[in-house]
Structure 1
Amino acid sequence: MEGGFSAGRIGVLAGCVAGIWTAYVYQGVLQEILSTKKFGPDGRRFEHLTFLGLAQNVVCFVWSLIMLLIWSSKRQSQAPLRSFWSASISNSIGPACGIIALKYISYPAQVLAKSSKMIPVMLMGAIVYGVRYTLPEYLCTLLVAGGVAAFALFKSSSKAVSKIASPNAPLGYGLCFINLGLDGFTNATQDAITHRYPKTSAWHIMLGMNLWGSIYMTLYMFVITNGGYEAIRFCKDHPEAFWDILMFCLCGAVGQNFIFLTISRFGALTNTTITTTRKFVSILVSAVWNGNPLSFEQWTGVVMVFLGLSYQIFLKYQKRRKGKGNFKVAAVDAKKI
Protein backbone atom coordinates (compact mmCIF):
# COMPACT_ATOMS: atom_id res chain seq x y z
CA MET A 1 0.00 0.00 0.00
CA GLU A 2 1.44 3.27 -1.11
CA GLY A 3 1.40 6.56 0.72
CA GLY A 4 2.61 5.56 4.20
CA PHE A 5 0.68 4.73 7.34
CA SER A 6 -0.35 8.08 8.80
CA ALA A 7 -3.15 8.09 11.36
CA GLY A 8 -5.51 9.72 8.87
CA ARG A 9 -4.72 7.18 6.17
CA ILE A 10 -5.18 4.26 8.57
CA GLY A 11 -8.51 5.77 9.63
CA VAL A 12 -9.70 5.99 6.01
CA LEU A 13 -8.63 2.39 5.36
CA ALA A 14 -10.43 1.21 8.51
CA GLY A 15 -13.54 3.07 7.35
CA CYS A 16 -13.33 1.41 3.92
CA VAL A 17 -12.97 -2.05 5.46
CA ALA A 18 -15.90 -1.42 7.82
CA GLY A 19 -18.03 0.01 5.01
CA ILE A 20 -17.40 -2.84 2.56
CA TRP A 21 -17.81 -5.55 5.18
CA THR A 22 -20.97 -4.05 6.68
CA ALA A 23 -22.68 -3.30 3.36
CA TYR A 24 -21.92 -6.59 1.62
CA VAL A 25 -22.22 -8.93 4.59
CA TYR A 26 -25.64 -7.47 5.36
CA GLN A 27 -26.57 -7.61 1.68
CA GLY A 28 -25.66 -11.30 1.73
CA VAL A 29 -27.91 -11.82 4.75
CA LEU A 30 -30.77 -10.09 2.93
CA GLN A 31 -30.14 -12.07 -0.25
CA GLU A 32 -30.34 -15.31 1.70
CA ILE A 33 -33.51 -14.18 3.50
CA LEU A 34 -35.21 -13.25 0.22
CA SER A 35 -34.31 -16.59 -1.38
CA THR A 36 -35.25 -18.85 1.54
CA LYS A 37 -37.80 -17.14 3.80
CA LYS A 38 -41.50 -17.91 3.71
CA PHE A 39 -43.29 -14.58 4.04
CA GLY A 40 -46.63 -13.83 5.67
CA PRO A 41 -49.32 -16.10 7.07
CA ASP A 42 -49.65 -17.79 3.67
CA GLY A 43 -46.00 -18.90 3.86
CA ARG A 44 -45.12 -17.84 0.32
CA ARG A 45 -41.56 -17.58 -1.01
CA PHE A 46 -40.33 -14.65 -3.08
CA GLU A 47 -40.04 -16.54 -6.37
CA HIS A 48 -38.91 -13.80 -8.76
CA LEU A 49 -35.31 -13.39 -7.61
CA THR A 50 -34.30 -11.76 -10.92
CA PHE A 51 -36.36 -8.78 -9.77
CA LEU A 52 -33.51 -8.08 -7.35
CA GLY A 53 -31.28 -7.42 -10.35
CA LEU A 54 -33.71 -4.86 -11.77
CA ALA A 55 -34.16 -3.16 -8.40
CA GLN A 56 -30.38 -3.05 -7.88
CA ASN A 57 -29.84 -1.54 -11.34
CA VAL A 58 -32.42 1.20 -10.80
CA VAL A 59 -31.16 2.17 -7.34
CA CYS A 60 -27.49 2.17 -8.43
CA PHE A 61 -28.34 4.20 -11.55
CA VAL A 62 -30.05 6.87 -9.43
CA TRP A 63 -27.22 6.74 -6.88
CA SER A 64 -24.49 7.17 -9.50
CA LEU A 65 -26.41 10.02 -11.17
CA ILE A 66 -26.64 11.85 -7.84
CA MET A 67 -22.93 11.28 -7.14
CA LEU A 68 -21.99 12.63 -10.59
CA LEU A 69 -24.14 15.73 -10.08
CA ILE A 70 -22.56 16.34 -6.67
CA TRP A 71 -18.91 15.50 -7.31
CA SER A 72 -18.28 16.16 -11.02
CA SER A 73 -16.36 19.45 -10.99
CA LYS A 74 -15.95 19.79 -14.73
CA ARG A 75 -16.99 18.13 -17.94
CA GLN A 76 -14.53 15.46 -19.03
CA SER A 77 -14.22 13.28 -22.08
CA GLN A 78 -16.31 10.39 -20.77
CA ALA A 79 -17.24 7.25 -22.68
CA PRO A 80 -20.61 7.70 -24.42
CA LEU A 81 -23.40 5.86 -22.64
CA ARG A 82 -24.08 3.77 -25.74
CA SER A 83 -20.65 2.15 -25.25
CA PHE A 84 -21.97 0.12 -22.33
CA TRP A 85 -24.83 -1.66 -24.10
CA SER A 86 -22.98 -4.94 -24.78
CA ALA A 87 -21.24 -5.21 -21.41
CA SER A 88 -24.59 -4.58 -19.73
CA ILE A 89 -26.14 -7.61 -21.45
CA SER A 90 -23.69 -10.01 -19.80
CA ASN A 91 -23.77 -7.90 -16.63
CA SER A 92 -27.54 -8.41 -16.47
CA ILE A 93 -27.66 -12.11 -17.29
CA GLY A 94 -24.62 -13.16 -15.21
CA PRO A 95 -25.69 -11.84 -11.79
CA ALA A 96 -29.25 -13.01 -12.50
CA CYS A 97 -27.91 -16.56 -12.91
CA GLY A 98 -25.99 -16.17 -9.64
CA ILE A 99 -29.11 -15.04 -7.78
CA ILE A 100 -31.33 -17.76 -9.30
CA ALA A 101 -28.73 -20.33 -8.18
CA LEU A 102 -29.91 -19.67 -4.61
CA LYS A 103 -33.06 -21.61 -5.46
CA TYR A 104 -30.92 -24.71 -5.87
CA ILE A 105 -27.88 -24.36 -3.58
CA SER A 106 -27.18 -22.70 -0.24
CA TYR A 107 -25.76 -19.19 0.08
CA PRO A 108 -22.33 -20.41 1.34
CA ALA A 109 -22.12 -22.74 -1.68
CA GLN A 110 -22.94 -19.85 -4.02
CA VAL A 111 -20.29 -17.60 -2.44
CA LEU A 112 -17.63 -20.31 -2.77
CA ALA A 113 -18.54 -21.09 -6.38
CA LYS A 114 -18.41 -17.40 -7.32
CA SER A 115 -15.04 -17.07 -5.56
CA SER A 116 -13.46 -19.52 -8.02
CA LYS A 117 -13.15 -16.97 -10.80
CA MET A 118 -9.49 -17.85 -11.35
CA ILE A 119 -10.39 -21.34 -12.59
CA PRO A 120 -12.12 -20.38 -15.90
CA VAL A 121 -9.64 -17.51 -16.36
CA MET A 122 -6.64 -19.85 -16.17
CA LEU A 123 -8.31 -22.52 -18.28
CA MET A 124 -9.10 -20.00 -21.02
CA GLY A 125 -5.62 -18.50 -20.77
CA ALA A 126 -3.85 -21.85 -21.02
CA ILE A 127 -6.07 -23.53 -23.63
CA VAL A 128 -7.08 -20.64 -25.88
CA TYR A 129 -4.18 -18.20 -25.55
CA GLY A 130 -1.34 -20.53 -24.61
CA VAL A 131 -0.45 -18.61 -21.45
CA ARG A 132 2.09 -20.33 -19.22
CA TYR A 133 1.49 -20.10 -15.51
CA THR A 134 3.88 -20.74 -12.66
CA LEU A 135 3.63 -23.63 -10.21
CA PRO A 136 2.41 -21.37 -7.35
CA GLU A 137 -0.34 -20.05 -9.63
CA TYR A 138 -1.48 -23.60 -10.40
CA LEU A 139 -1.34 -24.38 -6.68
CA CYS A 140 -3.71 -21.49 -5.96
CA THR A 141 -6.16 -22.79 -8.54
CA LEU A 142 -5.86 -26.37 -7.29
CA LEU A 143 -6.68 -25.28 -3.73
CA VAL A 144 -9.72 -23.30 -4.87
CA ALA A 145 -11.01 -26.03 -7.21
CA GLY A 146 -10.44 -28.72 -4.58
CA GLY A 147 -12.20 -26.65 -1.92
CA VAL A 148 -15.27 -26.02 -4.08
CA ALA A 149 -15.37 -29.72 -5.04
CA ALA A 150 -15.06 -30.83 -1.40
CA PHE A 151 -17.86 -28.46 -0.36
CA ALA A 152 -20.12 -29.69 -3.18
CA LEU A 153 -19.50 -33.41 -2.66
CA PHE A 154 -20.31 -33.49 1.05
CA LYS A 155 -23.97 -33.14 1.95
CA SER A 156 -25.22 -30.07 3.73
CA SER A 157 -27.15 -30.41 6.97
CA SER A 158 -30.84 -31.24 6.68
CA LYS A 159 -31.63 -27.85 8.25
CA ALA A 160 -29.71 -25.99 5.54
CA VAL A 161 -31.23 -28.09 2.75
CA SER A 162 -34.77 -27.53 4.06
CA LYS A 163 -34.39 -23.78 3.46
CA ILE A 164 -33.56 -24.20 -0.24
CA ALA A 165 -36.58 -23.85 -2.53
CA SER A 166 -35.63 -26.61 -5.02
CA PRO A 167 -32.38 -28.40 -4.05
CA ASN A 168 -30.43 -29.24 -7.20
CA ALA A 169 -26.65 -28.89 -6.75
CA PRO A 170 -25.57 -29.50 -10.39
CA LEU A 171 -27.98 -26.85 -11.66
CA GLY A 172 -27.06 -24.38 -8.91
CA TYR A 173 -23.31 -24.70 -9.45
CA GLY A 174 -23.83 -24.61 -13.22
CA LEU A 175 -25.63 -21.27 -12.94
CA CYS A 176 -22.78 -19.90 -10.79
CA PHE A 177 -20.18 -20.88 -13.38
CA ILE A 178 -22.29 -19.31 -16.15
CA ASN A 179 -22.24 -16.20 -13.96
CA LEU A 180 -18.43 -16.35 -13.81
CA GLY A 181 -18.10 -16.84 -17.57
CA LEU A 182 -20.32 -13.87 -18.35
CA ASP A 183 -18.44 -11.78 -15.78
CA GLY A 184 -15.29 -12.44 -17.80
CA PHE A 185 -16.91 -10.93 -20.90
CA THR A 186 -18.20 -7.98 -18.88
CA ASN A 187 -14.76 -7.28 -17.43
CA ALA A 188 -13.02 -7.52 -20.80
CA THR A 189 -15.55 -5.18 -22.43
CA GLN A 190 -15.29 -2.63 -19.62
CA ASP A 191 -11.49 -2.74 -19.89
CA ALA A 192 -11.75 -2.05 -23.63
CA ILE A 193 -14.06 0.92 -22.95
CA THR A 194 -11.78 2.44 -20.31
CA HIS A 195 -8.75 1.88 -22.56
CA ARG A 196 -10.49 3.78 -25.36
CA TYR A 197 -11.79 6.49 -23.03
CA PRO A 198 -9.18 6.69 -20.22
CA LYS A 199 -10.78 9.71 -18.54
CA THR A 200 -14.01 7.82 -17.86
CA SER A 201 -14.76 7.91 -14.14
CA ALA A 202 -15.96 5.00 -12.03
CA TRP A 203 -19.25 6.80 -11.40
CA HIS A 204 -19.79 7.21 -15.14
CA ILE A 205 -19.17 3.48 -15.66
CA MET A 206 -21.64 2.75 -12.88
CA LEU A 207 -24.16 5.09 -14.53
CA GLY A 208 -23.81 3.56 -18.00
CA MET A 209 -23.87 -0.06 -16.83
CA ASN A 210 -26.93 0.42 -14.63
CA LEU A 211 -28.79 2.50 -17.21
CA TRP A 212 -28.61 -0.27 -19.80
CA GLY A 213 -29.11 -2.92 -17.13
CA SER A 214 -32.32 -1.19 -16.03
CA ILE A 215 -33.57 -1.13 -19.63
CA TYR A 216 -32.78 -4.81 -20.27
CA MET A 217 -34.20 -6.05 -16.98
CA THR A 218 -37.36 -3.92 -17.36
CA LEU A 219 -37.97 -5.44 -20.80
CA TYR A 220 -37.42 -8.93 -19.43
CA MET A 221 -39.48 -8.53 -16.26
CA PHE A 222 -42.41 -6.56 -17.70
CA VAL A 223 -42.54 -7.31 -21.45
CA ILE A 224 -41.06 -10.76 -22.05
CA THR A 225 -42.40 -12.17 -18.77
CA ASN A 226 -44.88 -11.04 -16.14
CA GLY A 227 -42.33 -11.51 -13.37
CA GLY A 228 -42.09 -7.80 -12.62
CA TYR A 229 -45.82 -7.40 -12.07
CA GLU A 230 -45.92 -10.53 -9.90
CA ALA A 231 -42.93 -9.33 -7.85
CA ILE A 232 -44.60 -5.95 -7.25
CA ARG A 233 -47.83 -7.70 -6.27
CA PHE A 234 -45.90 -9.90 -3.87
CA CYS A 235 -44.25 -6.85 -2.25
CA LYS A 236 -47.64 -5.18 -1.94
CA ASP A 237 -49.03 -8.23 -0.15
CA HIS A 238 -45.86 -8.72 1.92
CA PRO A 239 -44.40 -5.28 2.80
CA GLU A 240 -41.59 -6.94 4.75
CA ALA A 241 -40.19 -8.28 1.46
CA PHE A 242 -40.30 -4.77 -0.04
CA TRP A 243 -38.16 -3.34 2.77
CA ASP A 244 -35.71 -6.23 2.48
CA ILE A 245 -35.37 -5.57 -1.27
CA LEU A 246 -34.87 -1.83 -0.71
CA MET A 247 -32.18 -2.45 1.92
CA PHE A 248 -30.55 -5.03 -0.38
CA CYS A 249 -30.24 -2.40 -3.12
CA LEU A 250 -29.02 0.36 -0.79
CA CYS A 251 -26.36 -1.96 0.63
CA GLY A 252 -25.10 -2.58 -2.91
CA ALA A 253 -24.95 1.14 -3.69
CA VAL A 254 -23.21 2.03 -0.41
CA GLY A 255 -20.78 -0.87 -0.82
CA GLN A 256 -19.81 0.37 -4.28
CA ASN A 257 -19.04 3.80 -2.80
CA PHE A 258 -16.51 2.25 -0.43
CA ILE A 259 -15.06 0.05 -3.18
CA PHE A 260 -14.43 3.08 -5.39
CA LEU A 261 -12.93 4.98 -2.45
CA THR A 262 -10.66 2.03 -1.62
CA ILE A 263 -9.39 1.72 -5.19
CA SER A 264 -8.78 5.45 -5.57
CA ARG A 265 -6.89 5.76 -2.25
CA PHE A 266 -5.23 2.36 -1.79
CA GLY A 267 -5.36 0.50 -5.13
CA ALA A 268 -7.18 -2.50 -6.57
CA LEU A 269 -5.00 -5.02 -4.73
CA THR A 270 -6.03 -3.70 -1.32
CA ASN A 271 -9.64 -3.80 -2.49
CA THR A 272 -9.22 -7.44 -3.55
CA THR A 273 -7.89 -8.32 -0.11
CA ILE A 274 -10.83 -6.63 1.64
CA THR A 275 -13.50 -8.16 -0.59
CA THR A 276 -11.96 -11.64 -0.36
CA THR A 277 -11.96 -11.61 3.44
CA ARG A 278 -15.50 -10.23 3.32
CA LYS A 279 -16.66 -13.38 1.49
CA PHE A 280 -15.28 -15.57 4.27
CA VAL A 281 -17.10 -13.43 6.84
CA SER A 282 -20.31 -13.77 4.80
CA ILE A 283 -20.07 -17.56 4.95
CA LEU A 284 -19.40 -17.42 8.69
CA VAL A 285 -22.40 -15.14 9.25
CA SER A 286 -24.59 -17.42 7.13
CA ALA A 287 -23.56 -20.45 9.16
CA VAL A 288 -24.02 -18.77 12.55
CA TRP A 289 -26.67 -16.05 12.14
CA ASN A 290 -28.90 -17.59 9.46
CA GLY A 291 -28.60 -21.09 10.92
CA ASN A 292 -26.87 -22.88 8.04
CA PRO A 293 -24.52 -25.23 9.89
CA LEU A 294 -21.68 -26.66 7.80
CA SER A 295 -20.11 -30.07 8.25
CA PHE A 296 -16.43 -30.47 9.14
CA GLU A 297 -15.73 -31.54 5.54
CA GLN A 298 -17.50 -28.47 4.17
CA TRP A 299 -15.53 -26.17 6.49
CA THR A 300 -12.40 -27.89 5.15
CA GLY A 301 -13.51 -26.93 1.64
CA VAL A 302 -14.14 -23.33 2.73
CA VAL A 303 -10.66 -23.10 4.29
CA MET A 304 -9.05 -24.58 1.14
CA VAL A 305 -10.75 -21.98 -1.08
CA PHE A 306 -9.68 -19.04 1.06
CA LEU A 307 -6.16 -20.39 1.48
CA GLY A 308 -5.93 -20.46 -2.31
CA LEU A 309 -7.33 -16.94 -2.62
CA SER A 310 -5.05 -15.66 0.15
CA TYR A 311 -2.00 -17.22 -1.51
CA GLN A 312 -3.05 -15.60 -4.79
CA ILE A 313 -3.18 -12.19 -3.09
CA PHE A 314 0.23 -12.82 -1.48
CA LEU A 315 1.75 -13.61 -4.88
CA LYS A 316 0.30 -10.40 -6.28
CA TYR A 317 1.82 -8.35 -3.48
CA GLN A 318 5.19 -10.03 -4.09
CA LYS A 319 5.11 -9.30 -7.81
CA ARG A 320 4.06 -5.71 -7.28
CA ARG A 321 6.92 -5.15 -4.83
CA LYS A 322 9.36 -6.61 -7.33
CA GLY A 323 7.90 -4.51 -10.12
CA LYS A 324 7.14 -7.49 -12.30
CA GLY A 325 3.60 -6.56 -13.23
CA ASN A 326 0.29 -8.06 -12.32
CA PHE A 327 -0.54 -11.65 -11.51
CA LYS A 328 -1.97 -13.36 -14.57
CA VAL A 329 -5.14 -14.51 -12.87
CA ALA A 330 -7.70 -11.70 -12.90
CA ALA A 331 -8.39 -9.93 -9.63
CA VAL A 332 -11.80 -8.90 -8.45
CA ASP A 333 -12.94 -6.33 -10.97
CA ALA A 334 -14.15 -3.43 -8.93
CA LYS A 335 -15.65 -1.74 -12.02
CA LYS A 336 -18.06 -4.68 -12.25
CA ILE A 337 -21.40 -3.34 -11.05
Structure 2
Amino acid sequence: MGFHISLWSFIGSIFYTIIQGKFIQFLSYIQQYRQVIPEIMFLTIYSVLGQVFIFYCISCFSPRVLSVVTTTRKFFTVLLSIIIHNHEVDQVQWVGISLVAFGVAWELFMGMSSRIPAEKKKDSYIKVPYEDEKKEEETIGNNNQQDHKHNHHNHHNHH
Protein backbone atom coordinates (compact mmCIF):
# COMPACT_ATOMS: atom_id res chain seq x y z
CA MET A 1 0.00 0.00 0.00
CA GLY A 2 2.80 2.43 0.89
CA PHE A 3 4.44 1.79 -2.48
CA HIS A 4 1.25 2.67 -4.34
CA ILE A 5 0.71 5.83 -2.31
CA SER A 6 4.27 6.94 -3.02
CA LEU A 7 4.00 6.04 -6.71
CA TRP A 8 0.80 8.02 -7.21
CA SER A 9 2.21 10.90 -5.20
CA PHE A 10 5.28 10.90 -7.46
CA ILE A 11 3.14 10.79 -10.63
CA GLY A 12 0.88 13.54 -9.31
CA SER A 13 3.86 15.72 -8.43
CA ILE A 14 5.43 15.29 -11.87
CA PHE A 15 2.09 16.02 -13.55
CA TYR A 16 1.56 19.11 -11.38
CA THR A 17 5.04 20.50 -12.06
CA ILE A 18 4.56 19.97 -15.80
CA ILE A 19 1.21 21.80 -15.74
CA GLN A 20 2.73 24.66 -13.72
CA GLY A 21 5.68 24.89 -16.11
CA LYS A 22 8.17 24.17 -13.32
CA PHE A 23 9.46 20.83 -14.63
CA ILE A 24 11.65 22.45 -17.32
CA GLN A 25 12.99 24.88 -14.68
CA PHE A 26 13.82 21.90 -12.44
CA LEU A 27 15.71 20.13 -15.24
CA SER A 28 17.67 23.27 -16.16
CA TYR A 29 18.49 23.84 -12.48
CA ILE A 30 19.87 20.31 -12.17
CA GLN A 31 21.92 20.79 -15.36
CA GLN A 32 23.34 24.03 -14.02
CA TYR A 33 23.98 22.78 -10.45
CA ARG A 34 24.84 19.09 -10.79
CA GLN A 35 26.13 18.95 -7.20
CA VAL A 36 22.50 18.78 -5.97
CA ILE A 37 21.95 15.36 -7.59
CA PRO A 38 23.63 13.38 -4.75
CA GLU A 39 21.69 15.43 -2.21
CA ILE A 40 18.41 14.67 -4.00
CA MET A 41 19.37 10.98 -4.04
CA PHE A 42 20.19 11.01 -0.30
CA LEU A 43 16.90 12.78 0.43
CA THR A 44 15.08 10.12 -1.59
CA ILE A 45 16.85 7.25 0.18
CA TYR A 46 16.21 8.74 3.62
CA SER A 47 12.56 9.30 2.73
CA VAL A 48 12.18 5.66 1.66
CA LEU A 49 13.91 4.46 4.85
CA GLY A 50 11.57 6.66 6.89
CA GLN A 51 8.54 5.11 5.21
CA VAL A 52 9.92 1.61 5.83
CA PHE A 53 10.43 2.47 9.51
CA ILE A 54 6.87 3.80 9.78
CA PHE A 55 5.44 0.67 8.12
CA TYR A 56 7.57 -1.62 10.31
CA CYS A 57 6.66 0.21 13.52
CA ILE A 58 2.92 0.11 12.78
CA SER A 59 3.05 -3.54 11.67
CA CYS A 60 5.06 -4.81 14.63
CA PHE A 61 3.73 -2.56 17.36
CA SER A 62 0.83 -0.17 16.86
CA PRO A 63 0.00 3.29 15.54
CA ARG A 64 0.09 4.43 19.17
CA VAL A 65 3.75 3.43 19.53
CA LEU A 66 4.58 5.15 16.24
CA SER A 67 2.89 8.31 17.51
CA VAL A 68 5.00 8.29 20.68
CA VAL A 69 8.21 7.64 18.71
CA THR A 70 7.62 10.40 16.16
CA THR A 71 6.49 12.91 18.79
CA THR A 72 9.57 12.13 20.91
CA ARG A 73 11.84 12.57 17.90
CA LYS A 74 10.28 15.94 17.06
CA PHE A 75 10.49 17.02 20.71
CA PHE A 76 14.23 16.31 20.87
CA THR A 77 14.78 17.91 17.46
CA VAL A 78 13.22 21.13 18.76
CA LEU A 79 15.29 21.01 21.97
CA LEU A 80 18.53 20.39 20.07
CA SER A 81 17.74 23.22 17.67
CA ILE A 82 17.14 25.58 20.61
CA ILE A 83 20.43 24.55 22.22
CA ILE A 84 22.63 24.38 19.08
CA HIS A 85 21.33 27.54 17.39
CA ASN A 86 20.75 29.46 20.63
CA HIS A 87 17.11 30.28 19.76
CA GLU A 88 15.27 32.55 22.13
CA VAL A 89 12.24 30.83 23.63
CA ASP A 90 9.61 32.77 25.55
CA GLN A 91 7.55 31.49 28.50
CA VAL A 92 4.54 30.46 26.40
CA GLN A 93 6.79 28.40 24.11
CA TRP A 94 8.41 26.71 27.14
CA VAL A 95 4.92 25.86 28.40
CA GLY A 96 4.18 24.25 25.02
CA ILE A 97 7.45 22.30 25.08
CA SER A 98 6.73 21.19 28.66
CA LEU A 99 3.23 20.03 27.70
CA VAL A 100 4.66 17.90 24.89
CA ALA A 101 7.25 16.41 27.27
CA PHE A 102 4.54 15.71 29.84
CA GLY A 103 2.29 14.13 27.20
CA VAL A 104 5.04 11.82 25.94
CA ALA A 105 6.06 10.87 29.48
CA TRP A 106 2.41 10.18 30.37
CA GLU A 107 1.93 8.04 27.27
CA LEU A 108 5.08 6.05 28.05
CA PHE A 109 4.02 5.61 31.68
CA MET A 110 0.52 4.45 30.70
CA GLY A 111 1.94 2.10 28.07
CA MET A 112 4.40 0.55 30.50
CA SER A 113 1.86 0.20 33.30
CA SER A 114 -0.73 -1.62 31.21
CA ARG A 115 -0.06 -5.23 30.31
CA ILE A 116 -2.81 -5.37 27.70
CA PRO A 117 -1.32 -6.30 24.30
CA ALA A 118 -1.76 -3.97 21.37
CA GLU A 119 -4.78 -4.54 19.19
CA LYS A 120 -4.15 -6.93 16.34
CA LYS A 121 -4.34 -5.21 12.99
CA LYS A 122 -6.38 -7.10 10.38
CA ASP A 123 -4.38 -6.06 7.31
CA SER A 124 -0.89 -6.21 8.79
CA TYR A 125 1.72 -7.79 6.55
CA ILE A 126 3.94 -8.67 9.49
CA LYS A 127 2.12 -10.91 11.92
CA VAL A 128 3.21 -10.69 15.53
CA PRO A 129 1.68 -13.38 17.76
CA TYR A 130 0.30 -12.18 21.06
CA GLU A 131 0.14 -14.26 24.22
CA ASP A 132 -3.66 -14.63 24.08
CA GLU A 133 -3.46 -15.77 20.45
CA LYS A 134 -0.74 -18.31 21.28
CA LYS A 135 -2.89 -19.79 24.05
CA GLU A 136 -5.92 -19.80 21.76
CA GLU A 137 -3.95 -21.55 18.98
CA GLU A 138 -2.65 -24.15 21.46
CA THR A 139 -6.20 -24.77 22.73
CA ILE A 140 -7.56 -25.10 19.20
CA GLY A 141 -4.69 -27.43 18.26
CA ASN A 142 -5.28 -29.64 21.30
CA ASN A 143 -9.05 -29.75 20.63
CA ASN A 144 -8.44 -30.73 17.00
CA GLN A 145 -6.14 -33.55 18.10
CA GLN A 146 -8.73 -34.79 20.61
CA ASP A 147 -11.50 -34.57 17.98
CA HIS A 148 -9.35 -36.53 15.54
CA LYS A 149 -8.71 -39.24 18.15
CA HIS A 150 -12.40 -39.31 19.08
CA ASN A 151 -13.50 -39.57 15.43
CA HIS A 152 -10.88 -42.24 14.75
CA HIS A 153 -12.08 -44.22 17.82
CA ASN A 154 -15.74 -43.93 16.74
CA HIS A 155 -14.86 -44.96 13.20
CA HIS A 156 -13.36 -48.24 14.49
CA ASN A 157 -16.37 -48.96 16.72
CA HIS A 158 -18.83 -48.76 13.84
CA HIS A 159 -17.04 -51.57 11.90
Scaled to the shorter chain, the TM-score interval is 0.5 to 0.7
Gaps of 5+ in 2: 120-159
Query: Cα gap change, 1:239/1:275 in structure 2, threshold over 3 Å: closer, same or farther?
Result: same
Q: Report the equivalent of 1:128.
A: none
2:51 equivalent to 1:234: no
TM-score norm. by structure 1 comes to: 0.30
Equivalent pairs counted in the alignment come to 117
Report which of the two structures shows the higher radius of gyration computed on alpha carbons. 2
Distance in 1 separating the partners of 2:24 and 2:80: 33
Task: Provide closer, same or farther for how the CA distance between residues 210 and 322 of structure 1 changes in structure 2, counting only shifts above 3 A.
Answer: closer
Match of residue 87 from structure 2 = 293
Decide whether the 8 Å contact of 2:71 with 2:104 is kept in 1.
yes
Residue in structure 2 matched with residue 270 of structure 1 by the alignment = 65
What is the TM-score normalised by the length of structure 2? 0.56
One-letter code of the match for 2:71?
T
Corresponding residue for 1:284? 79
1:220 aligned to which of 7, 16, 36: 16
**1:65-93 deviations in whole A, cap 9, x for unaligned?**
xxxxxxxxxxxxxxxxxxxxxxxxxxxxx
Aligned to 1:257: 52
Q: Which consecutive unaligned segments of at least 5 residues does structure 1 have?
A: 1-204, 326-337
Contact 1:235/1:242 (<8 A) preserved: yes
- Superposition map of 1:18-97 within 5 A: none
Give the 3 Å change call, closer, same or farther, for CA 308–250 of structure 1 in structure 2: same
What SS class does the counterpart of residue 295 from structure 1 fall into? coil
Superposed CA offset, 1:141-160 (max 9, x none): xxxxxxxxxxxxxxxxxxxx
Tell me what 2:98 maps to: 303
Distance 1:273 1:305, change over 3 A: closer
Bigger share in helix: 2
Q: CA deviation at 1:254?
A: 0.9
1:255 deviation in Å?
A: 1.8
What pairs with 1:65-214 in structure 2 (closer than 5 Å)?
205-214=1-10
Q: Which fold has the larger relative contact order, with Cα–Cα distance below 8 Å and residues 6 or more apart in sequence?
A: 1
| Alpha-carbon spacing, 1:272–1:316, altered in 2? closer, same or farther (3 Å) | farther
SS for the counterpart of 1:239 is coil
Matched AA of 1:216: G
Q: Is the 8 A contact 1:236 1:242 kept in 2?
A: no
Taking only the aligned residue pairs, the percentage that are identical comes to 25
Q: State the one-letter code of the partner of 1:214.
A: F
- Residues 113-163 of structure 1: CA deviation (Å, up to 9, x unaligned): xxxxxxxxxxxxxxxxxxxxxxxxxxxxxxxxxxxxxxxxxxxxxxxxxxx
1:229 maps to a residue whose letter is: I
Provide the C-alpha distance between the structure 1 equivalents of 2:64 and 2:4, rounded to a whole number of angstroms.
25
The equivalent residue for 1:248 is 43
Does the 8 A contact of 2:57 with 2:66 survive in 1?
yes
Please give the alpha-carbon distance, in whole angstroms, between the structure 2 residues aligned to 1:258 and 1:245: 20
Change (3 A) 1:292 1:232: farther
Q: Aligned partners of 1:288 and 1:233: how far apart in 2?
A: 39
Aligned-partner residue type, residue 212 of structure 1? W
Cα–Cα, structure 1 residues 240 and 263, in superposed 2: closer, same or farther, change >3 Å?
A: same
CA deviation string 1:206-254 (max 9, x = no partner): 12111211221111111x2122222332233233433333222211111
What CA RMSD, in Å, does the superposition of the two structures yield over aligned residues?
A: 3.1
Taking the aligned partners of 1:212 and 1:248, their CA distance within structure 2 comes to 18
